[in-house]
Every structure is written in C-alpha cells, then in structure tokens.
C-alpha cells in the first residue's frame, strides 16, 4: 500500500539544489511511504539504486525505482549491499520525482527486523563513526593522512554553497542548467573549487616539491606545487587549475588559478576563468582535526569573495576506487 506522509512533520525534506547534483530527476517536497517487495539491488556510484514492487490502493502491482546516497556514505553508516536481500519486505520513505513516474529519492528504509536505515547522507547530522578518532598525535603524520568529512560538516558545507554573494548575472545563468544532462549524470569528474566540497574522504601525500591531494569522489587527484613562488600564467587552463602552496606558521596555504571548470556549484552557477581560489588548512594540536577555508575571488560570479569553511577528522578511513556509472546506464 502507498500512503502520503505529512510534509510538515518531516523536517528532513531537502531542497532541490542539494539533490540535483547527481540525479537525472527533480524530486518533490512531498514525502510518501511505500511498502513492498525488493526486486533489484544496484550497489554502485554515484548513487545506489533499488527497485520495489508494491500493491496500490486499486490492488494493482506497481514498480518503484529508488536511489540513495553513494556507496561510501552508506557504508560508513553500516549499510552495505548485503544488508538487503531480494524478496525482502521493506517500508520505504522518500520524495517522488516530479519528472518520472514511480521514482523516489530514498530517505529511510524500515527493514523486516525493525531497523530504520537513513539512506540519504544529507539528512544525517551525526554518525557514530565520526567519534572514532585515531591516535593521530602518536602517529605524528601531520596533514599527510586520509581525512574524513563528518556528517555535521557536510550539511554546513552544502548550505554554504547556496548562501554566497552571487551577482545577478550568475543567478540568471542557472536557468541554462539541465538537471537531465550535466557533468554529474555523465560521471564527469568535477573541477575546482566544487570538488573540495564533497562527502568523500581526502588524502594529502607528501612528495617534497609537490603535494598530492586526492579525494575518493571521481578518483580526482590534485597536484600542489611547493617549489613555486607564485601562480604561473603560462600553464594551460584545466578543470583543477594550477595550484601553488606554501607553509605559513604551520598552516598549508594554496593558491589556485588557471581553472576552466565552468561551475561553482551543482546548480549551474558559473565560474569565470579568471577566478582565484585561496585555501588554508590548519591542523589541530592533537592532529585529529583539519580545519579549512576556501576563498573564491571572481567578480563575474560574486560581489565579494565567496568563502567556504569546514573541517575534516582523522577517522582511519581509506580511499576506495569510485567507479562511477552514468545515471542512465
């Protein structure tokens, strides 16, 4: 049976801009609950997909397609592919698509044993795994380790992307954004600075004259040049740009220019090729927390520099291969 649930009672309903990053469909603010039998499991990035067969109020069987968070974000919550079995009776809570019939953005799944699983990471403000800090001081690796994005910081970062001093022209340009066909639905790796605001782990690797900064999302790797004094104008533009770093009182400061990635966010806000991105990374005394600030100067997009700030934690994560599969495959 399918029934409606009061939207007012569900405070976790997400704005469309948050959802639109990877999805080929828009989702309503309406929230519904569906009970049925699980018939298909697709455990893949950018979002896992499930298929449920449910009986409607007329006694007819309907097939519902649903998507949840990425593999990493579900598994850090203890949700794995073998959590589900074909033939299970599930109760699903989600937001229906406004473009495709019987398509849902997963919010929560109630298992036969009574466990309730949160299937969309943006709804989660705290994970138990976020408290399992490693003894980073004993390891004494500084910033050169894998860093995890705590759930609370992810919600903050997404809110910051939306709340910036955008120019009228930048806001108007969003009208050309196609939610059905964009870099995310095609599994095209993101560029700077957007790639730095994602829920997947990051790692700094020291090579002396350079530092590699990689993230699990799209298997992206940045190179930070530590042997250059200033940004270079003779470097060809690229989606990640050219990054020059230096140590300032123990903090890593990185300036990135020559970026030709055309977007600031996941909603079609443009980014000009003259943008200058300045990042600062500051390590806590016990080495378990890395605070960061990203400042983006681009007069075509912002009336003043945009600032994104947050922190990562040393939780002992590893970085897995992302292996993104385009949404329509």
User: What integer is the mean pLDDT of 289-305?
Assistant: 97
Q: How confident is the model at residue 326 (pLDDT cuts 50, 70, 90)?
A: confident
Q: What is the mean pLDDT of the chain?
A: 87
Residue 281 sits at φ, ψ, to 5 deg, of -120, 125
Q: How confident is the model at residue 130 (pLDDT cuts 50, 70, 90)?
A: low
pLDDT at 124: 58
Fold of domain 2-124: OB fold (Dihydrolipoamide Acetyltransferase, E2P) (2.40.50)
pLDDT digits (tens, 9 = 90+) for 249-287: 999 999 999 999 999 998 899 999 999 999 999 999 999
pLDDT at 178: 79
CA distance 19 to 108: 15
Q: How confident is the model at residue 27 (pLDDT cuts 50, 70, 90)?
A: confident
Largest interatomic CA distance in the chain: 71
Least confident of 83-87, 177-181, 233-237: 177-181
User: What integer is the mean pLDDT of 121-148?
Assistant: 83
pLDDT at 22: 43
pLDDT at 14: 35
pLDDT digits (tens, 9 = 90+) for 285-295: 999 999 999 99
3-state secondary structure the chain: CEEEECCCCCCCCCCHHHHCCCCCCCECCCEEEEEEEEEEEECCECCCEEEEEEECCCCCEEEEEEECCCHHHHHCCCCCHHHCCCCCEEEEEEEEECCCCCEEEEEEEECCCCCEEECCHHHCCCCHHHHCCCCHHHHCCCCCCEEECCHHHHHHHHHHHHCCCECHHHHHHHHHCCCCCCCCCCCCCCCCCHHHCCCCCEEEEECCCEEEEEECHHHCEEEEECCCCCCCCCCCCECCCEEEEEEECCEEEEEEECECCCECCCCCCECCCCCEEEEEEEECCCCCEEEEEEEEECCCCECCCEEEEEEEECCCCCCCCCCECCCCC
CA dihedral for 263, 218, 215, 208, sign (positive or negative): negative
In whole angstroms, what separates CA 318 from the centre of its chain? Answer: 17
pLDDT at 4: 36
pLDDT at 126: 59
Extents of the domains making up the chain: 2-124, 130-313
Tell whether the model's pLDDT for residue 129 goes beyond 80.
Answer: no
The residues near 127 (Cβ < 8 Å, ≥ 6 apart) are 76, 77, 150, 151
- Other CB atoms within a 10 A radius of the CB of residue 77 amount to 18
pLDDT at 83: 96
pTM: predicted TM-score of the whole model, two decimal places? 0.83
């Amino acid at each position: 049976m399918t029934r409606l649930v009061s939207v007012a009672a569900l405070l976790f309903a997400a704005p469309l801009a948050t959802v639109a990053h990877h999805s080929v469909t828009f989702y309503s603010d309406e929230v519904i609950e569906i009970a049925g039998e699980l018939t298909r499991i697709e455990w893949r990035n950018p979002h896992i997909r499930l298929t449920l067969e449910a009986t409607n109020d007329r006694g007819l069987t309907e097939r519902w397609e649903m998507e949840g968070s990425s593999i990493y974000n579900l598994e850090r919550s203890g949700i794995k592919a073998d959590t589900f079995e074909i033939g299970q009776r599930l109760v699903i809570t989600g937001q229906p698509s406004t473009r495709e019939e019987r398509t849902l953005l997963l919010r929560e799944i109630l298992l036969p044993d009574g466990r309730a699983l949160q299937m969309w990471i943006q709804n989660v403000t705290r994970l138990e795994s976020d408290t399992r800090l490693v003894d980073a001081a004993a390891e004494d690796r500084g910033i050169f380790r894998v860093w995890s994005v705590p759930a609370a910081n992810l919600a903050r970062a997404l809110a910051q992307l939306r709340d910036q001093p955008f120019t009228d022209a930048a806001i108007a340009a969003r009208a050309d954004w196609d939610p059905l066909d964009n870099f995310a639905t095609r599994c095209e790796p993101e560029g700077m600075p957007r790639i730095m605001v994602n829920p997947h782990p990051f790692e700094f690797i020291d090579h002396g004259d350079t530092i590699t900064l990689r993230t699990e999302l799209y298997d992206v790797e940045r190179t930070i040049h530590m042997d250059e004094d200033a940004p270079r104008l003779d470097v060809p533009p690229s989606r990640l740009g050219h990054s020059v770093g230096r140590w300032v009182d123990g903090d890593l400061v990185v300036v990135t220019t020559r970026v030709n990635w055309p977007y600031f966010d996941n909603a079609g806000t443009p980014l000009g090729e003259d943008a200058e991105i300045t990042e600062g990374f500051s390590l806590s005394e016990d080495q378990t927390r890395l605070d960061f600030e990203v400042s983006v100067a681009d007069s075509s997009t912002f009336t003043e520099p945009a600032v994104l700030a947050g922190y990562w934690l040393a939780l002992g994560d590893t970085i897995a291969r992302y292996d993104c599969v385009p949404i329509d495959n």
